[in-house]
Amino acid sequence: MSRLGTETAFEVLAKARALEAKGRDIVHLEIGEPDFDTPPSVVSAGVAALERGETHYTPSAGVIELRDAIAAYLGARRGLSIDPTQVVVTPGAKPIMFYALLALLDAGDEAIYPDPGFPIYASMIDFAGARGVPLPLRERDDFEPDLDELRHLVTDRTKVIVLNSPHNPTGGMLSDEAIREIARHARERDLWVLSDEIYGELVYDGTHRSIMLEEGMAERTILLDGFSKTFAMTGWRLGYGVFPRTLVEPITKLVTNSVSCTATFVQRAGAAALTTRPPEVDRMLAEFRERRDAIVRGLNEVAGVTCRVPHGAFYVFPNVAGLGLRSSADVADRLLNEAGVAALAGTCFGAQGEGYLRLSYANSLPNLEKAISRIAAWSLRLAPLPTGR
């Protein structure tokens, strides 16, 4: 158990709630969760399933109607040719991560993952007994990987490359050129790719392209996705993976041995979300775009802070090194306690996150404006660091 990490967002949330219990007003920018409710038509589909008595076990891989809907949706939205039998449904998307890495990695193997990146990648690689190898993502490269560096990180022990585009925490996206080169390298070195596309529908600049579209990659890629972000269904716990045929049976066994199956009424709600794509989804995306532009503009007006424009997801990753504090963790802690703004230190996502914060703009525009105002006022009150030790 000592090999398991955690998500600091929930720890910061707990600290923020404790301050609120003492009467403090806190603006929450720490949690990566849409602040919108699940579309009413999706809720109705789940309720109708409950009223029909759909409260029993399903096949471990999911009901066929949802697997059909997922295959059709990915075909229509991302141009992927998928057989529904390749789809495995799980309670949330994290199990896909966990099951894939457990199935593919043995002790002594290596897996490459983005740094900064979602912290559960490294946690699950370690738990599987393998060695995690961080792939730096740098601001000067618009948070895209250096492909020469990636080639040098691959060894004879490398089994898996983890990709995430659009990316948490930076909001960056892989270019078509990067996807082609990573795919070519995966084919040449016989590597598996775990492609986390949970933010694939939340794109503001350009278009999302799955690495599964590249020649020969459908046979070596696990596509991870879910309903939490696109359809504002975080609490429903519904995710899925698309697997090469050779992995479907072992992954399904892991589902059977761990959670048995995903709740039936939740799967019915998910099928409704995909087959109807409620209009609230596009309205949410338009609102996120407006918020993104506002928070980037506001942050770039704060002394000591610079912020690139993210291309997808709902996070900004501002550079706060110019504030002159000791660490990103110090900045995040002081922002919470002194300015009433809950944010995450960039180092919550890996060593390359030093000098940065992650702020979620999944909050209302008035709250984002309040947060920017507080950050700006707080930055002007900062005392410079002493020059001596």
What's the pLDDT at 9? Answer: 86
Per-residue DSSP letter, 137: B
What's the pLDDT at 2? Answer: 62
What's the pLDDT at 386? Answer: 46
Nearest to 37 by CA among 277, 324, 236: 236
Structure-token match 């960056």, residue found: 172
Helix axes 94-104, 119-127, angle to 10 degrees: 40
C-alpha triplet 350, 355, 359: angle, nearest 5°: 80
Q: What distance in Å separates the CA atoms of residue 367 and residue 131, rounded to the nearest whole number?
A: 41
Question: Residue 163 in contact with residue 193, Cβ under 8 Å?
Answer: yes
Q: Please confirm whether the linkage preceding 169 is cis (ω < 30° from 0).
A: yes
Nearest to 318 by CA among 362, 348, 290, 353: 353
What's the pLDDT at 361? Answer: 98
What's the pLDDT at 380? Answer: 93
Nearest to 371 by CA among 282, 307, 313: 307
Q: What is the pLDDT along the chain (389 residues), one digit of tens a residue?
A: 666 676 788 899 999 999 999 999 999 999 999 999 999 999 999 999 999 999 999 999 999 999 999 999 999 999 999 999 999 999 999 999 999 999 999 999 999 999 999 999 999 999 999 999 999 999 999 999 999 999 999 999 999 999 999 999 999 999 999 999 999 999 999 999 999 999 999 999 999 999 999 999 999 999 999 999 999 999 999 999 999 999 999 999 999 999 999 999 999 999 999 999 999 999 999 999 999 999 999 999 999 999 999 999 999 999 999 999 999 999 999 999 999 999 999 999 999 999 999 999 999 999 999 999 999 999 999 855 444 43
Question: Residue 111 in contact with residue 159, Cβ under 8 Å?
Answer: yes
